[in-house]
Structure 1
């Protein structure tokens, strides 16, 4: 009796026999940015950074503010129960806050672009599309450098209003900026009501206007209409709500704001070139920081998988904490990604900077420049 022999399995066969690594994506926005995140993972395979296949699982319902906290929690646990080693998303502040305790209890890293300090813990990682402390620090820096010493503040209510106000007051106290008046609003504030509040702020003899919160009323056109109604055109600056210029440059005419799309970052341009070469068209929302931010978030997970001592949730957490000086597409030319055991704010360097809308176009207003007070 003769015994047949079979050839040893090829590298490709062994690759296909490995179970894929599952990564969860939480939030309806990922349907728009699936090409960016797949590009990061495919490039990881092409570069030999990933040594096994990947599988993406998507859940549209991240919870608040569009849905309910329970909806987001349930969706997160479905991804965890399906075997995801990390979940990326819950990008709205509201949804991230609601999921904080669940990510920490499940011991599965949750990587979010939220900006709140309320999202923290062993398994909570931030790659912020803004920052509740960083935005006010840069805004007050800009005010100081441009000679504005007495400012009026519009405070849209949100779950992070108190954080914004606390940091803004702190930076104003530090740099000697006086707050002439504050007017609080909600998303239900009408254009006429907004005009009345702007009139109060104008009459407080402030030399600049500050928008300290979300930007729904800016994008809707209500803010521009209200300012025009009272014929007020002050120097003005806003938080990273500014990045909603993509929905209408004309609505943000005259505003300076905190941005993350920097023409001086060569990696953003190379990302764009690779994307167009791969897919034959610009990313959705281009030019804007969000496509590059989606890519950076995915690329950070790729690097975390590479560095993970074991492919478990706790292992990927360690992998994220072991990233150092990873070049970023988002932000200025010195932006990089790095973590640590107690350092889960992953963007470092000049990841926030200034933009301006003038004559219906986006202009680069510059990187952070320290004032003489530091």
Structure 2
């Protein structure tokens, strides 16, 4: 009896990919679309199976919780794990990805996440965010900036890069106020009042966005009736939890209407699922798709279907066009190059009248 191609396809064990973090449940359609398109385009010669672990560990949980979840995915046969997207969780998992020899692809932004099996498709960059923020300050004519610094494990990294760029472009730091994720509206209002009194031209938010999401930042600014020109790190993309909390802010973003691939992604998504991605337009659905599509391309290029083979597949990607970022954004790796986004993958956005607006690509100043 002959066996049909379909029967042989179904007899092959599926490729297993792990997804680490609670956010993937919300973007399941985007990642499935990338893999389904990979099959339709002939890039994958096996079925795929997704395994999900919601607990990525820090900062909401514990490092042990994230490590245990990662190990469960690897023990279940996953050839790659995508997630650990908060910088804290990625930092805790780096040594375990390297030890287990299974690629971990994260959207974290820190240089502290590195190693032979650690790859970044960043939802921001701890060095790049400050460089763009200071560039914006200079181009907008702001010469004295007041800084709010929410504490986190990457605060020193943010501060180092921000001061470096301010020194390079001639921007003075008028005042800095540190806060925590437990800072109340009244306490933050007092901090904002001190920064306002420093007579700065603009306000910079240099860190995570938890107090943005829960409304504390907007309430504190309104409490002291302060509406300065202001710019934020990629914490700005916490707009996925509500644009109204970011009214008036410029921030580092990754949704660009000048990128034709973003529009084509949206069209294909609507054709496949009959509705827009969640809270469209915003950057995160496209980023989720890019992370999955990169995994597909890595599997296609893998020397063998093992963790090491997939790692080598990622390192062989060159000039893969991206949905994320500006029109020149592309994805590429190398044996010693695991920061995969290239080109204008970070740019500027603004929330005005409760809506997300594109606020321009990076433009160099005359300091270079």
TM-score per shorter chain, which class? over 0.9
Paired residue for 2:344?
350
Equivalent residue runs for 1:147-186 within 5 Å: 147-186=141-180
Paired residue for 1:91?
85
Paired residue for 2:190?
196
Provide, for residues 238-269 of structure 1, a one-character-per-residue CA deviation record: whole Å limited to 9, x for no partner. 00111122323222111100000111111111
1:205 aligns with 2:199: yes
Q: Between Structure 1 and Structure 2, whose CA radius of gyration is higher?
A: 1
Q: C-alpha separation between the residues in 2 aligned to 1:285 and 1:77?
A: 33
Post-superposition offset of 1:132: 0.2
Equivalent residue runs for 1:279-318 within 5 Å: 279-318=273-312
Q: C-alpha separation between the residues in 1 aligned to 2:18 and 2:353?
A: 41
Post-superposition offset of 1:127: 0.5
Q: C-alpha separation between the residues in 2 aligned to 1:239 and 1:140?
A: 11
Q: C-alpha separation between the residues in 2 aligned to 1:246 and 1:125?
A: 24
Deviates more, 1:165-174 or 1:219-228: 219-228
Paired residue for 2:208?
214
Paired residue for 1:38?
32
Moved over 3 A (4+): none
Q: C-alpha separation between the residues in 2 aligned to 1:21 and 1:253?
A: 43
Paired residue for 2:324?
330
Q: Are the aligned partners of 1:285 and 1:291 in contact in 2 as well (CA < 8 Å)?
A: no
Equivalent residue runs for 1:1-374 within 5 Å: 6-7=1-2, 9-374=3-368
Deviates more, 1:331-340 or 1:244-253: 244-253
Look up the SS of the partner of 2:70 in the other structure: helix
Deviates more, 1:61-70 or 1:138-147: 61-70
Provide, for residues 191-243 of structure 1, a one-character-per-residue CA deviation record: whole Å limited to 9, x for no partner. 11111111111111110100001112122222222222222211100001111
Post-superposition offset of 1:14: 2.1
Look up the SS of the partner of 2:359 in the other structure: strand
Post-superposition offset of 1:53: 1.2
Q: Are the aligned partners of 2:281 and 2:356 in contact in 1 as well (CA < 8 Å)?
A: no
Q: Are the aligned partners of 2:331 and 2:342 in contact in 1 as well (CA < 8 Å)?
A: yes
TM-score (norm 1): 0.97
Q: C-alpha separation between the residues in 1 aligned to 2:191 and 2:69?
A: 40
Alignment coverage as a number of residue pairs: 368
Q: Are the aligned partners of 1:208 and 1:234 in contact in 2 as well (CA < 8 Å)?
A: yes
Q: C-alpha separation between the residues in 2 aligned to 1:287 and 1:194?
A: 30
Q: C-alpha separation between the residues in 2 aligned to 1:241 and 1:74?
A: 27
Post-superposition offset of 1:331: 0.6
Q: Are the aligned partners of 1:253 and 1:358 in contact in 2 as well (CA < 8 Å)?
A: yes
Provide, for residues 22-56 of structure 1, a one-character-per-residue CA deviation record: whole Å limited to 9, x for no partner. 11111111111111111100100000011111111
TM-score (norm 2): 0.98
Provide, for residues 270-328 of structure 1, a one-character-per-residue CA deviation record: whole Å limited to 9, x for no partner. 11111111111111232111111111000000000000111110100000000000010
